[in-house]
Amino acid sequence: MQMDTERTRIGVVGGGSWGTALAKLLADKGFSLDLWVFESEVKQEIKSLRENRVFLPGFTLPEGIVPTNDLKTAVGDKDLVLVVVPSHCMRAVAKEMKAFIHPDTVVVTASKGIENKTHETMTDILSNVMNHLPKKNFAVLSGPSFAKEVAARVPTVVAAAAVDRAVAEFVQAVFSCPTFRVYVNDDPVGTQVGGAMKNVLAIAAGICDGMNMGLNPRAALITRGLAEMNRLGTRLGADPLTLSGLAGVGDLLLTCTGELSRNYTVGKQIGQGKALDDIISEMRMVAEGVKTTRSVYNLSKKLGVDLPICNEVYSVLFDGRPVDQTVDRLMSRSLKHELDGVL
């Protein structure tokens, strides 16, 4: 694992807003890196204009970022590969990457989601597909971080998680800079459950605000949403303390209150009466929470974990239930102890 900025070889897979912002952060720090983008026009824009006008307009990208449409170029012979593709594309991209990834490479995911069919996290998918790498080589980077603010060098704090502390600290050292502070933990499960579920809960928060319900409901939703996050996370083996940290409550607060959140925006438009299909058709970027809602709902049923808020989001998105009915259903549930099923 090379730590010298002039020698560490980095590839970034995914040229959306978040992948581009993280590539810019690394290049601003002094790294030279290959950035794989799916769209040929995005590659050409970055190469000729030094800007990703499709996904991250308004930011000049350093010369250290070399765009490519070739995965082998992006990931071959690298010390660290950062994968930032939509969660539903992760398996297909991992399969394409497998032949080019060296067994010593550290693979980091900054994608947030849970796969629909398998209910696997992103590190599960990557390690199962690229099984010629040791499992300790997979890590996750997550926390409260909007791409535009990271690109603008707004002070941001996130977490890097890996089962091997040395790997997590390697990721920490690569990404940390004066405007991007990285903490480490050894709980990739909790870090990813938090990153995935907060998107579902952000849709719920957006619905509340779209209905002009006031501030009390949003505060309650965030707090009880954290309880649901703990309920599912601990069932999957997460440490509750992880979910009380940056990748859990930190990211939850950001996406449930920030107008830059795509998931919050989707929810807000639904709360205002707009149809989901119409909202999605007008979006170029992915709102991960929509697909993750299905994953979380089905996984909770499979495991017998009670997630009332997430279940109501599912019913609105996929069963067509009116949003006002979901509020009534949540408020009229049987009365309980606050910590039932949480600890």
Residues annotated as catalytic (active site), given as ranges? 198
Encode 326-342: b = buried (16+ Cβ within 10 Å), e = exposed: bbeebeeeeeeeeeeee
Q: Which residue has the tokens 């940290």?
A: 245
Q: Measured between alpha carbons, how far is 157 from 172 in angstroms, rounded to an integer?
A: 11
Q: Measured between alpha carbons, how far is 279 from 270 in angstroms, rounded to an integer?
A: 8
| Type of residue at 311 | N
Tokens found for residue 201: 């809960």
Q: How many CB atoms lie within 10 A of CB 68?
A: 17
Q: Among 238, 251, 242, which Cα is nearest to 205's?
A: 251
Q: Among 288, 291, 295, which Cα is nearest to 118's?
A: 295
